């Protein structure tokens, strides 16, 4: 079943987070394509999610569509993954 454009865009943001990308950081388009396919998404999902993320101001796409850049707005919506656990969570 196809995902919505928003779901796909949020997954793109998760990929940026996995790469520990900061505001203004770029990812090659190929580094988005491969995780989509490997994680059970389709290229159509990616093609729907990219324009949505750009419209939301989360990403910009380079002139030749080879690079995707994370914006400040994108940093805010990127999911927090691999957050270190604080000491209070380690106590049993």
Q: What is the pLDDT of residue 64?
A: 84
pLDDT band at 85 (very low <50, low <70, confident <90, very high): very low
Total domains in the fold of the chain? 1
11 is a domain residue = yes
What CATH number has the domain bearing residue 51?
1.10.10.10
Contact present, 74 and 24 (Cβ < 8 Å): no
Contact present, 47 and 91 (Cβ < 8 Å): no
pLDDT in tens, 1-42: 467 999 999 999 999 988 888 899 999 998 999 988 899 899
Computed over every residue of the chain, the mean pLDDT equals: 83
Is the predicted pLDDT of residue 88 greater than 50, yes or no?
A: no
- What's the rounded mean pLDDT across residues 78-91? 45
- Calpha distance 33→42 (Å, rounded): 9
73 is a domain residue = yes
- What's the rounded mean pLDDT across residues 57-80? 88
86 is a domain residue = no
With a pLDDT cut of 90, the percent of the chain lying above it is: 58
Q: Give the domain extent around 43.
A: 5-79
């Amino acid at each position: 079943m196809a995902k919505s454009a928003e779901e796909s865009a949020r997954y793109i943001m998760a990929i940026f987070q996995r790469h520990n990308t900061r505001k203004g950081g770029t990812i090659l388009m190929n580094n988005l394509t491969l995780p989509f396919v490997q994680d059970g998404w389709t290229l159509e999902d990616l093609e729907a999610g990219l324009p949505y993320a750009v419209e939301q101001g989360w990403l910009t796409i380079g002139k030749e569509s080879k690079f995707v850049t994370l914006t400040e707005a994108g940093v805010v919506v990127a999911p927090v993954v691999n957050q270190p656990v604080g000491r209070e969570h380690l106590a049993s």
